[in-house]
Chain A
Amino acid sequence: MAKVLTVDPQDVSQLVHRHQAEVWRYVRFLGANAELADDLVQEAFLQLLRAPYEDQGEPARRAWLRKVAQNLYVKSFRRPPFALVDLDRIEAVWLDYAQGDGGNESLAALRECLENLDGRARQAVRLHYEERRSRREIGDRLELGEQGVKSLLRRSRELLKKCVERARREA
């Protein structure tokens, strides 16, 4: 029989620690900035803990939290930020990435793949994601136009995605 979640502070703390990273990553993936993601995650947990929610186990709980956070994100816009017909595709991409552990393994694989990325792709990724340089600044450094930087970053992400998928298969 499913049990109702308690609001024992210790349980709340453990529950939040178990799921917060995944929900946060999910809403970031949807497009929320870091600060909005904090708020959305908080609201999703509050709904989980305040509503008469019957706990059906961890996978269902994770899906429930993601769905609530997604709804809150969509509702925060006057118009939906993406086509609602994309929702199935979004869910499929997420589940493929998260692999049941909230994305921890994929993230670890990505770090490894980054270590193997060479040359200008590595420089572009580093300048964009670690140093938060604009495309123009990166272009000046790599002697590329802004469009060229955009293409280089997209190609790099494509390479990295394939590398992550390969690493996970091998693992």
Chain B
Amino acid sequence: MTDWDDRIIDSALQEVGGQQPPDLSARILIALGEGAPGQLPALPPPPRSIAGSTMLAAAFLCLGLLTAYVVSYAFDDGSRSTVEAERVALYVVSGQVEFVPADAQRPGEVVAAGSAVIVREPRGARMFVSKDSRLQLGVFPMLRVEPATELEVRSMGVSMNNGVVAATSLAIGVVVGAVTWDSLSGPEARTSGEVVRLEAMAPDGVDYSVENARLMARVQGLEEQNARLMMMREGVAAPAIPEGPVLAEALDKPDVATAMMFEDPKYADALSKVNWDAMGKATLEIQPLLNELVRILNEDGEISTEIAVQLEKLNVHLAGEIPTLMKAGLPGTGPNGAYTHPLVVANTLASTLNAAGKPLDAAQSAALAGLVKSFTAELDGVAAGPYEFQSETMMHEIEAKERFYAEMSQRLTAEQFATIYPKGSTDFDGLSLFGTGLMTRHLLRPIKAGNAADFAHRAGNRLADELGFSDAETVRLRTVLESVAGSSSGMWGKPSSAVERKLKFLRAGRTQAALRNQVAMLRAIYLQFQLTPEQQEKLSSLTGVIVPL
């Protein structure tokens, strides 16, 4: 093997380890719009981090997000600057984080929502998250941290550009648990042993509001220009000033709590703050787009960027209500556990049907209110249930919610049903906004395996890593897993489709089969291995669902 053969695998392994190609389209578009043709900025010599145009792009992406900041002290002037001290702030949007500096012992400092975790050491600091939390660092999408997650700072970088802090990055390893976020191509997740790389830029004290406003105007101008160009290409006269979409107008009205039809005194205060009207309108627009995304992927084998961008924009409105839903304290696994709670589902259903002009009638509302009440009680029982594994709690939660969805849909007229479940939307778990696939999709850990033996080998390696098994234990683990997986039904059907591989929308029912298999595997491990208390705790807290694709 030559050095270059070695390098190609080395760089590929770096990518597998977390250093992935970023989406540079926004910064390229902005740089393209701002620089005069033929006058390219000179490329400065390395090492450097992110150029000025990146700052613009970052600010562009940062619009509307909570801003993280970097503080640095005592650097000399000129292009060569020395950072003597720096820190990175990770803003806690909701939930709380116990922060333990490197080399310190627990308990650490508890940082509540609305405050920031200040990371000073470039390596070794740990963060313990006991309940669902959301963290923000600059331009990176909001991170959702699952309960019982432990994070460790792996690296921290601050770049200087002419004496000014220009950028920062923070690599966080997931020791136990899971972190998820929404990216352009869909939900992303990192679980135990994986690394999340965050980037941000915004020197402390710098007011970006003017720059943000300028960039917003610039973005609006580009969008209008784009619309006009597209119309010209199609031979249609361009409108002078395009009006904003009706949905956007409705969605942009903040703090409008409307149309909460189903209530529960325990959660009423928090849920009354949700903009149900906006939720319904966004849901109504998102579902056909999701179906179209899948149709195109099935036909062309490619994810439509155009639709993905539209979905991203609309999803912001749904995701924006998640903190309010989380504050209500509804039981459920992860943020979408609250989103799929019957109380939320029923209200979203009602507002979606209102938006479609097919509202629930009084009899339907009364029937649904009864369903919500009984399933809320059942789910409270599941959440408090005596289950050994978090996966098991999730499995029972999903089964109960699936029954709720089935009962709910039986109360709809054919027209209403077609609005809520357009043709094809129930073919895949996660494709419908009224299904439990929303809860599980970001927890799926696909591995390529066509039979139980392949599955056992690869799943065994993963679980052995999680549990810190020796080589001998790993070999024995594979035998145990093969026996469990071989007798699981619903796991070894048709080969996986592009929709399953690329979007992690599994064929209907496959998620539940994988989850049942997972619980059986965990139970077998628990019974057949002498686990330390730490290993037992890890086993109990595993929520990632290993699924063969």
A: which residues have CB within 8 A of B? 7-10, 12-14, 16-17, 20-21, 24-25, 28-29, 31-36, 38-43, 45-47, 49-50, 72, 75-78, 86, 89-90, 93-94, 97, 103, 106-107, 110-112, 114-119, 122, 125-126, 129-132, 154, 157-158, 160-161, 164
Contact = CB atoms under 8 A, between A and B. Distances in A.
* Most chain B CB neighbours (cut-off 10 Å) among A10, A49, A93, A160: A10
A77 B111 CA distance: 45
Q: How large is the interface on B (under 10, 10 to 19, 20 to 34, 35 or more residues)?
A: 35 or more
A45 B53 CA distance: 13
10 contacts: A17-B23, A38-B50, A46-B31, A50-B37, A76-B43, A106-B12, A115-B447, A132-B17, A132-B155, A157-B9
Interface in B57-92: none
A132 B171 contact: yes
A42 B195 contact: no
Given A106-B12, A132-B155, A132-B171, A38 B24 contact: yes
Contacts of B266: none
A110 B305 CA distance: 26
Given A129-B17, A130-B17, A157-B6, A41 B24 contact: yes
Contact of B23 (A20, A28, A76, A77): A20
A38 B28 contact: no
Given A35-B50, A46-B35, A116-B457, A93 B22 contact: no
A43 B46 CA distance: 14
A45 to B, nearest CB: 5
A47 B43 CA distance: 12
Contacts of A47: 40
B214 to A, nearest CB: 18
Contacts of A13: 25, 29, 305
A158 B44 CA distance: 35
Interface stretch (B221-229, B234-242, B245-253, B487-495): B221-229
Contacts of A107: 12, 15-16
A46 to B, nearest CB: 6
Contacts of B19: 28, 34
Contact of A75 (B43, B195, B474): B43
Contacts, number: 186
Interface in B8-39: 8-19, 21-25, 27-29, 31-32, 35, 37-38
Nearest to B448: A112
Contact of B32 (A7, A77, A89, A158): A7
Contacts of A110: 9, 12-13, 16
A10 B309 CA distance: 11
Nearest to A132: B154
Question: Which secondary structure characterizes the binding site on chain A?
Answer: helix
Nearest to A160: B9
B210 interface: no
A109 to B, nearest CB: 10
B15 to A, nearest CB: 6
A130 B193 contact: yes
A28 B15 contact: yes
A160 B11 CA distance: 13
A39 B31 contact: no
Interface of B: 1-2, 4-19, 21-25, 27-29, 31-32, 35, 37-38, 40, 43-51, 53-54, 154-155, 159, 167, 171, 173, 193-195, 222-223, 225-226, 229-230, 233, 305-306, 447-448, 457-458, 461-462, 465, 471, 474
Given A24-B21, A31-B7, A130-B16, 9 more contacts: A8-B230, A35-B49, A42-B24, A116-B461, A118-B461, A118-B471, A126-B465, A130-B195, A161-B1
* Most chain A CB neighbours (cut-off 10 Å) among B8, B37, B225, B465: B8
A33 B47 contact: yes
Contacts of A89: 2, 4
B471 A161 contact: no
A165 to B, nearest CB: 10
Nearest to A112: B448
Contacts of A40: 43
B354 to A, nearest CB: 33
B549 to A, nearest CB: 11
Given A38-B22, A130-B18, A46 B32 contact: yes
Contacts of A125: 13
A20 B21 contact: yes
Contacts of A29: 7-8, 11
Contacts of B43: 39-40, 43, 72, 75-76
A160 B19 CA distance: 18
Contacts of B13: 110, 125, 129, 157, 160
Contacts of B40: 43, 46-47, 50
Contacts of B14: 28, 129
| Nearest 8 interchain pairs by C-beta | A129-B17, A24-B21, A115-B458, A21-B21, A16-B25, A35-B49, A157-B9, A93-B4
A39 B48 contact: yes
B40 to A, nearest CB: 6
A86 B25 CA distance: 31
